[in-house]
Chain A
């Protein structure tokens, strides 16, 4: 299982005055089971990139291989692939529409051609995966709290059992506890199912804490690509592009500039805490 982008370019409004290259010669390889964070300032091409991964947008040039097959080949079943690459859009609760939560979650698998019984089983499993309380199964999705709606919407995508799950800013607009709950849920899904997860985020702190690999987009190009400690060692470059590093990473760099012998590149609260406590024990603080 893999997704390979080979020199993918996408141009909006080609050959008009408004022509904009939203993706500019992007080559990437996404392996099975990776947990990837995509960051970039607004308009950097993040959303355009993920919309190519499940064939919602078609590259102007270049191609994409899904499990080795060219998705633009006329014999390729794009509709089938879209159920394998599940997409949770920004504010997914705006797409809830059925009369009950349960019916809403069943809609996807039913649309895949599964029997009612199979779709029901899928819906139970998906709602359990997102820890959705069963007393609300028959409630209208519109009467739920913000966090619950978002869970229901994510369950609707999970019910199609995608191999790859793409989430475009899944925590936007939620309160801090709601954000943490959703991110922990995504982490658990990654750990238990091993499915590939691609998380588009504006929060440097969140990607530092949760993902294994960060892809930084800028002006439609891949600007940096690597593990969090590698990406967040480029503070100046990231700031030039309207981005930042996690607050604790700034802190550790500033301590290092004062001559404190910081080891490594701490990017999460836990890592910074551990490093400061180590130095404390060593008598530095």
Chain B
């Protein structure tokens, strides 16, 4: 089957240079990474700060290109400069900081900027803007200035801007880092809906373990390597491994793990409250 994203031995090196441009050192941000994502999958990538997650994400929409190895996005090689624009239309990216992604002076114009740039007819642009803004719960702010929104609201506008381009794949790089629980749940729900209803491939990079529970597959990165991969249940069964890698597990998983250690008859890899309640009161 064709893959949405296929990385073979993907490597990325950053060169550190002194003031005269001489190379002082080389750091390897991605070290021979192999990864394959099927179209329509919901993938999560975990890893601590500096593990290489964001560097990987930036390759997927050709903001960075491999030093070695190959990365194909929807069958297109990110190293081929002629494909850069097509790749960016296929794979939309939402960054951590919404302030760097909002450009227009009115919310609805910001969301319409992407599709307009792609040459979409005006009527359809407005339909897309409406559905994207409603999708992120920002429709009532459509005529506001983005400058007057809070950080969380700006992030939702940024996500709407990518959604309006209707890409095949959306990469969300810690999209909820600044949102409140309601906003976080809303963004996650939007991501899952786009995945389920429109078959958009989602790559979610996050620090919130709770957000990973509903993904199809999880990759854990450290020092540019993929050190663990599996379904959420497989990953979260390895509580002690994750903690050793500066990560954690959802609060409920940790509680279940501790109760099991204290002698209660509970399976490993409990992900949700429902599962824990079932294990406690069979």
Contact = CB atoms under 8 A, between A and B. Distances in A.
Given A43-B153, A146-B49, A242-B182, A247 B250 contact: yes
B182 A277 contact: no
Nearest to B282: A285
B277 A40 contact: no
A43 B274 CA distance: 32
A43 B150 contact: yes
Interface residues of B, number: 42
A260 B181 contact: no
A173 B252 CA distance: 22
B209 interface: yes
Contact of B152 (A39, A42, A246, A285): A42
A237 B65 CA distance: 49
B258 interface: yes
B264 A248 contact: no
A260 B246 contact: no
A158 B174 CA distance: 29
- Residue among B180, B183, B276 having the largest count of chain A Cβ atoms under 10 Å: B180
Contacts of A242: 180-183
B182 A41 contact: yes
Nearest to B145: A18
B178 interface: yes
Contacts of A176: 48, 207, 209, 246-248
B252 A248 contact: yes
Nearest to A12: B148
Interface string A161-183: 00000000100111111111000
B228 interface: no
Contacts of A239: 182
B113 to A, nearest CB: 23
B251 A177 contact: no
A202 B184 CA distance: 10
B40 to A, nearest CB: 29
A16 to B, nearest CB: 11
A276 B153 CA distance: 39
Contacts of B264: 276-277, 280, 285
A66 B148 CA distance: 30
Nearest to B264: A280
A175 B246 contact: yes
B174 A178 contact: no
B255 A175 contact: no
Given A254-B277, A269-B251, A175 B210 contact: no
A273 interface: yes
Given A41-B183, A202-B179, A145 B251 contact: no
Contacts of B96: 173
Interface in A197-251: 202, 204-205, 239, 241-244, 246-248, 250-251
A93 B174 CA distance: 18
A258 interface: yes
A62 interface: no
A1 interface: no
13 contacts: A41-B181, A41-B183, A42-B151, A43-B149, A90-B178, A145-B50, A172-B178, A178-B49, A179-B207, A254-B277, A255-B280, A273-B255, A280-B262
* Across the A-B interface, the 7 shortest Cβ-Cβ residue pairs: A242-B182, A42-B152, A177-B246, A175-B48, A176-B248, A244-B181, A42-B150
Interface of B: 47-50, 96, 148-153, 174, 177-185, 207, 209-210, 246-248, 250-252, 254-255, 258-259, 262-264, 273, 276-277, 280-281
